[in-house]
Structure 1
Amino acid sequence: MENEENLEAIMGLIMNGGNAKSDAMEAIHAAKKGEFDLADEKLKSAEQFLSKAHHSQTSMLTQEAQGNHVTVTLLTVHSQDHLMTAIAFADLAKEIIDLYKKIA
């Protein structure tokens, strides 16, 4: 079972990663409609959520480095998957938005 601190970090990864991915998708949709200021705002928001997610991940890594081993559960793996997917999605969103800007 997860301890409370780890569970908080894991939920931070899931929530912030999900929010980042959602904002990145909204950014793409805005760019598709030619709303580039909104697209840029949504990308900035996605980056802020990714930063929060990284802080959650860093707290877990710090614990591990200090010898407080984190038990790897399905929830832990799921949280890492959320973060990595969100990072990849945000990176691709930037490229897609740049393409929409060039087309416009």
Structure 2
Amino acid sequence: MADEQDEARAAADAVLAEVRVALRGLEAIPDAALRARAAGLILREWPAERTLAKEIRQQAVAFLHEDQGLDFPEIGEAIDTDRSRAWRIWKGMS
């Protein structure tokens, strides 16, 4: 299980590194006022990106349950949570 957690952490870190590189692109905007406005727009729209991550997680849990036939205790173990949280993720409640 520790190896799987390490793999998940490495995958998450790789994606976060790409996000940071993309955000650093703001620094390339030469006009400071434009750069500040662009950064502000990103900050305002950021909550929607959190929703995207939740949707991706929900889709993965749905795949584990519906396509691979895992029950919620098995899914909970696979994603390092308990069965009730796995069920809530599947239902879109968490």
Q: Structure 2 length as normaliser, TM-score?
A: 0.39
Larger RCO (CA within 8 A; separation ≥ 6): 1
Structure with max Cα Rg: 2
Q: Structure 1 length as normaliser, TM-score?
A: 0.36
